Chains A and B, each alone.
Chain A
Amino acid sequence: MGKIISTLITVVVAVGFSAAIWVGANLVFNQARYHWARFNGLVFGVGGFLLGVLLSGNRLTIGSEGETLGGFLNWVWLPLVLAAVFAVLGVALTRTDDDRQRLIIAIATGAVVGVGLGLLIQDQYLPSFSPIGLIGWTVAGVAIGGGLALARKKPPLNGVLVWGALFFIIGAWGTADLGAGSTVEAVIGTLVPALALGVRLGLTDNPELHTRTIIDQKSRAVIFLGPALLFIFITLLVPTVRTIYLSLLDNRSEEFVAFENYVTTFQDRGSWDASGFSNFFTSQLFWIGVVLLGIGVVLGIAQKQRTGKAVELGGASLGPLVVAGVLLAFALFTTLRGTIVNNLWWVVAVTLFSTVLGLAVAVLADKAKGEKIAKSIIFMPMAISMVGASIIWRFMYASRDISGEQTGVLNALWVGLGRLSTGSGIPTLIVTIVLGLILLGLAYMVAMALTKQNVGRAVVPGVAFLLIGWFFVRFAGIVGGGVGGFRVTADGQTVARTIDFITDSPYNNFWLMVILIWIQTGFAMVILSAAIKAVPEEYLEAARVDGATQSQIFWRIVLPQIGTTIGVVVTTLIVVVMKVYDIVKVVTNGQFGTQVLANDMFNQAFAFGNTGRGAALAVLIFVSVLPVMYLNIRRMQKEA
Chain B
Amino acid sequence: MTSTGTTPVLTDPGDVHPDAAMGDDGGKKGGVGDRIYGLLRAIPPGVLWLLVLVWSIPTLGLFVNSFRDRSSQRSSGWWTSLASPEQFTLDNYEVVLGASASAGLVDSLLNSFAIAIPATIIPIAMAAFAAYAFAWIDFKGRKWLFIGTVALLAVPLQVALIPLLQLFSGGAHWTIPGLDRTITFIADFDLAGNTTAVWLTHAGFAMPFAIFLLHNYISGLPKDLFEAARIDGADHFTVFWRLVLPLSIPVLAAFAIFQFLWTWNDFLIANTMVGSNPNAIPTTIRIANLAGDFGRNEHLLPAAAFVQSFVPIVVFFALQRYFVRGILAGSVKG
- Report yes or no: B113 in contact with A7, Cβ–Cβ below 8 A: yes
Nearest-CB residue, chain A, relative to B216: A568
Stretch of A62-70, A95-103, A377-385 lying at the B interface? A377-385
- Report yes or no: A380 in contact with B204, Cβ–Cβ below 8 A: no
Tell me the B240-287 residues at the A interface (CB within 8 Å).
240, 250-251, 253-254, 257-258, 261, 264-265, 267-268, 284, 287
Please report the C-alpha to C-alpha distance between residue A205 and residue B23 in the assembled complex, in whole angstroms.
Answer: 72
Residue interface mask A169-186, B partner, CB < 8 A = 1:
010011100000000000
Beyond A409-B61, A633-B146, whether A387 also contacts B267 by CB under 8 A is yes
- Report yes or no: A538 in contact with B334, Cβ–Cβ below 8 A: yes
Q: Which residues of A contact B22 (CB under 8 A)?
A: 460, 551
- Report yes or no: B257 in contact with A561, Cβ–Cβ below 8 A: no
How many chain A residues touch the partner (CB < 8 A)?
151
Q: Which residues of A contact B334 (CB under 8 A)?
A: 538-539, 542
Tell me the B267-317 residues at the A interface (CB within 8 Å).
267-268, 284, 287-288, 291, 298, 301-302, 304-306, 308-309, 312-313, 316-317
The one of B129, B159, B237, B284 in contact with A30, judged by C-beta atoms closer than 8 angstroms, is B237
Nearest Cβ on chain A to B112's Cβ, whole angstroms: 10
Q: Which residues of B contact A4 (CB under 8 A)?
A: 110
- Report yes or no: B207 in contact with A385, Cβ–Cβ below 8 A: no
- Report yes or no: B199 in contact with A568, Cβ–Cβ below 8 A: no
Interface presence of B21 (CB below 8 A): yes
Please report the C-alpha to C-alpha distance between residue A243 and residue B158 in the assembled complex, in whole angstroms.
Answer: 10
- Report yes or no: B62 in contact with A530, Cβ–Cβ below 8 A: no
Please report the C-alpha to C-alpha distance between residue A134 and residue B329 in the assembled complex, in whole angstroms.
Answer: 67
- Report yes or no: A546 in contact with B196, Cβ–Cβ below 8 A: no
Majority DSSP secondary structure for residues of A touching B: helix
Interface presence of B67 (CB below 8 A): no
- Report yes or no: A240 in contact with B155, Cβ–Cβ below 8 A: yes
Interface presence of B121 (CB below 8 A): yes
Tell me the A1-19 residues at the B interface (CB within 8 Å).
3-4, 7, 10-11, 14-15, 18-19
Q: Which residues of B contact A622 (CB under 8 A)?
A: 154-156
Nearest Cβ on chain B to A521's Cβ, whole angstroms: 7
Please report the C-alpha to C-alpha distance between residue A455 and residue B17 in the assembled complex, in whole angstroms.
Answer: 13
Interface presence of B25 (CB below 8 A): yes
Interface presence of B213 (CB below 8 A): yes
Beyond A15-B122, A234-B204, A633-B146, whether A598 also contacts B156 by CB under 8 A is yes
- Report yes or no: B150 in contact with A633, Cβ–Cβ below 8 A: yes
Q: Which residues of A contact B52 (CB under 8 A)?
A: 361, 373-374, 377-378
Interface presence of A471 (CB below 8 A): no
Please report the C-alpha to C-alpha distance between residue A557 and residue B150 in the assembled complex, in whole angstroms.
Answer: 29
- Report yes or no: A306 in contact with B19, Cβ–Cβ below 8 A: yes
Specify which of A236, A547, A572 lies most central, judged by the most chain B CB atoms within 10 Å of its CB: A236
Q: Which residues of B contact A633 (CB under 8 A)?
A: 146-147, 150
Q: Which residues of A contact B240 (CB under 8 A)?
A: 224
- Report yes or no: B208 in contact with A236, Cβ–Cβ below 8 A: yes
Beyond A175-B179, A385-B308, A622-B154, whether A407 also contacts B76 by CB under 8 A is yes
Nearest-CB residue, chain A, relative to B333: A538
- Report yes or no: A405 in contact with B76, Cβ–Cβ below 8 A: yes
Please report the C-alpha to C-alpha distance between residue A606 and residue B8 in the assembled complex, in whole angstroms.
Answer: 52
Tell me the A317-356 residues at the B interface (CB within 8 Å).
none
Nearest-CB residue, chain B, relative to A14: B118
Interface presence of B332 (CB below 8 A): yes
- Report yes or no: B179 in contact with A170, Cβ–Cβ below 8 A: yes
- Report yes or no: A406 in contact with B77, Cβ–Cβ below 8 A: yes
Nearest-CB residue, chain B, relative to A316: B19
Please report the C-alpha to C-alpha distance between residue A336 and residue B80 in the assembled complex, in whole angstroms.
Answer: 41
Tell me the A568-626 residues at the B interface (CB within 8 Å).
568, 571-572, 575, 578-579, 581-582, 598, 601-602, 605-606, 615, 618, 621-622, 625-626
- Report yes or no: A564 in contact with B1, Cβ–Cβ below 8 A: yes
Interface presence of A629 (CB below 8 A): yes
The one of A217, A561, A601 in contact with B2, judged by C-beta atoms closer than 8 angstroms, is A561
Specify which of A225, A381, A564, A565 lies most central, judged by the most chain B CB atoms within 10 Å of its CB: A225
- Report yes or no: A549 in contact with B237, Cβ–Cβ below 8 A: no
Tell me the A352-389 residues at the B interface (CB within 8 Å).
357, 360-361, 364-365, 368-369, 372-388
Q: Which residues of B contact A405 (CB under 8 A)?
A: 75-77, 80
The one of A386, A571, A579, A606 in contact with B267, judged by C-beta atoms closer than 8 angstroms, is A386
Interface presence of A393 (CB below 8 A): yes
Please report the C-alpha to C-alpha distance between residue A272 and residue B149 in the assembled complex, in whole angstroms.
Answer: 31
Please report the C-alpha to C-alpha distance between residue A11 and residue B122 in the assembled complex, in whole angstroms.
Answer: 10
Specify which of B134, B159, B209, B212 lies most central, judged by the most chain A CB atoms within 10 Å of its CB: B159
Tell me the B83-131 residues at the A interface (CB within 8 Å).
106-107, 110-111, 113-114, 117-118, 121-123, 125-127, 129-130
Nearest Cβ on chain B to A8's Cβ, whole angstroms: 9
Interface presence of A275 (CB below 8 A): no
The one of B79, B200, B326 in contact with A537, judged by C-beta atoms closer than 8 angstroms, is B326
Interface presence of A438 (CB below 8 A): no
- Report yes or no: A385 in contact with B287, Cβ–Cβ below 8 A: yes
Interface presence of A489 (CB below 8 A): no
Tell me the A400-433 residues at the B interface (CB within 8 Å).
405-409, 412
- Report yes or no: A615 in contact with B48, Cβ–Cβ below 8 A: no
Nearest Cβ on chain A to B110's Cβ, whole angstroms: 5
Residue pairs across A and B with Cβ atoms less than 8 A apart, 17 shown, are A170-B176, A232-B149, A239-B160, A364-B48, A380-B313, A381-B55, A391-B302, A518-B55, A531-B1, A533-B323, A533-B325, A546-B10, A582-B267, A601-B158, A618-B158, A621-B156, A629-B150
Give the 8 A-B residue pairs with the shortest CB-CB distance, closest first. A235-B204, A388-B305, A625-B154, A224-B133, A456-B19, A239-B160, A228-B130, A531-B1
